[in-house]
Amino acid sequence: MTQKEITRLRVVNQTIDKVITIREAAELLNLSERQVIRLKKGVLKEGPAFIIHKNRGRKPQHALSDELKKTIIELKKKKYKDVNF
């Protein structure tokens, strides 16, 4: 978990334990009260893993392929050597 996710989990757990209010948690996390309620519900239902971003470790769908990146770099080095981006 990243430091940001650890902080989120700690604050959400404080709201679950009723140490702080949802409004206070929203201010601490710079989120809306609705989002804090959503996080609280998710942690109660799925556990701490709910806080972790679901796309972690995945390559974005719209990312360029490694082959295309290599082609672009080769073209820049050879054919378009003196051209500015």
State the burial class of residue 2 (Cβ atoms within 10 Å of its Cβ: 0-12, 13-18, 19+): exposed
Q: What percent of the chain is predicted at pLDDT more than 90? A: 74
Confidence of residue 85 (pLDDT cuts 50, 70, 90): low
- Please answer whether residues 23 and 11 qualify as being in contact, where contact means their C-beta atoms are separated by less than 8 angstroms: no
pLDDT of amino acid 2:
85
Q: How many CB atoms lie within 10 A of CB 50?
A: 18
pTM of the model: 0.66
pLDDT digits (tens, 9 = 90+) for 50-77: 998 887 888 888 999 999 999 999 999 9
